[in-house]
Structure 1
Amino acid sequence: MKATDKGLHIDGIDKKILRFLMEDARTPVLEIARKIGISGAAIHQRLRKLEKSGLLAGSQFRINPKILGYTTMAYIGIFLDKAMSNPAAVKELQKIPEILECHYTTGNWSILIKVLCKDNEHLMQLLNKKIQQIEGVSRTETFISLDQQIDRQISI
């Protein structure tokens, strides 16, 4: 691994390590070392360098929201009355726990958010009582996800 003018260059061993960890972040380092054919210490050293470079942004467990009763995923385009409302609106959106992602966008909407709700009624309450009540929000456009077909990271 080395830094270049065009970004970070990772070698074949780094890519193999990353692929193992992207598949299962709980894979033991010694197991990865054995499969790749290098020492566990070398794996640890490479992982430290990858973390220091900023390429690795930690590891996490994924919670299955359906087990907790959250079955409605939606994307909501938010129209703001003026561009100056963006920072204040985002500050208010951060207070809403059902919002998983928030993006400034080009195109029709000022902001696009991804929300997770228990059901359609919960989504309607979220829209009517929280999101559309934020000062500066003029209207919203909602798209309900019927089923997620692809969930992946960038290929290494």
Structure 2
Amino acid sequence: MDDIDRKITGLLAADARRALADIGAAVGLSASAVNDRIRRLQAQGAIRAFTVDADPAALGLPVLAFVWVSLRDGADESAFRSFAAAHPAVMECHHVTGPWSYLVKLRLPALAAVETVLAEIKAQGFLGRSETILALSSPVEGAHVPKGAA
């Protein structure tokens, strides 16, 4: 990935519907050359998806919770990862260093739903212990590309 690819990726991250000619003008390439680069970046996996940045509250998911999860001894870690990937409330799941096994980001319709998700994790036999942190607000959220990448 070169500097032009990084610029294209940054421009698409800001507006995935931006015209190829507009991107080309910004990076000094023709629209067809930009299209070729985008296709190559997709094939390489550098661009994973074109997405919509929807307002969670407008979708009925105003509660943002982060859950530190420590798996219980003997828990099937692969099964936990599959559970997290399939769960509709799980926005992100990160395997982390330190005293916790995972950091899980949840988007939920109500505060009571946090307890429901934790009960589901317990019922599957994954949970050793957890700590939940609720976000009061999110001044910065949803960046798809690190700020320094563009």
Using structure 1 for the length normalisation, give the TM-score.
0.79
1:119-138 CA distance string (max 9 Å, x none): 211212222x3122221412
Instruction: Report how far residue 94 of structure 1 moved.
Output: 3.6
Does 1:149 pair with 2:139? yes
The corresponding residue for 1:5 is none
Cα distance change of structure 1 residues 26 and 142 upon mapping to structure 2, 3 Å threshold:
same
Cα distance change of structure 1 residues 15 and 103 upon mapping to structure 2, 3 Å threshold:
closer
Gapped regions of structure 1 (runs ≥ 5): 1-7
Identity of aligned residues (%): 27
Whether the aligned pair in 1 keeps the contact of 2:75 and 2:125 (CA below 8 Å) is: no
The corresponding residue for 2:35 is 44
Write the distance in 1 (CA, Å) between the matches of 2:88 and 2:13. Answer: 27
The 5 A counterparts of 1:71-150 are 71-82=62-73, 84-127=75-118, 129-150=119-140
Whether the aligned pair in 2 keeps the contact of 1:86 and 1:110 (CA below 8 Å) is: no
Letter of the 2:132 counterpart: T
Write the distance in 1 (CA, Å) between the matches of 2:66 and 2:94. Answer: 11
Pairwise CA RMSD of aligned residues?
2.1
Q: Which has the larger radius of gyration?
A: 1
Gapped regions of structure 2 (runs ≥ 5): none
Instruction: Report how far residue 95 of structure 1 moved.
Output: 4.0
Letter of the 2:30 counterpart: S
Whether the aligned pair in 2 keeps the contact of 1:132 and 1:139 (CA below 8 Å) is: no
Does 1:60 pair with 2:60? no
Using structure 2 for the length normalisation, give the TM-score.
0.82
1:78-100 CA distance string (max 9 Å, x none): 12222653223333334421111
Cα distance change of structure 1 residues 72 and 41 upon mapping to structure 2, 3 Å threshold:
same
Q: Which has the higher contact order (CA 8 A, sep 6+)?
A: 2
Write the distance in 2 (CA, Å) between the matches of 1:115 and 1:108. Answer: 20
Whether the aligned pair in 2 keeps the contact of 1:73 and 1:114 (CA below 8 Å) is: yes
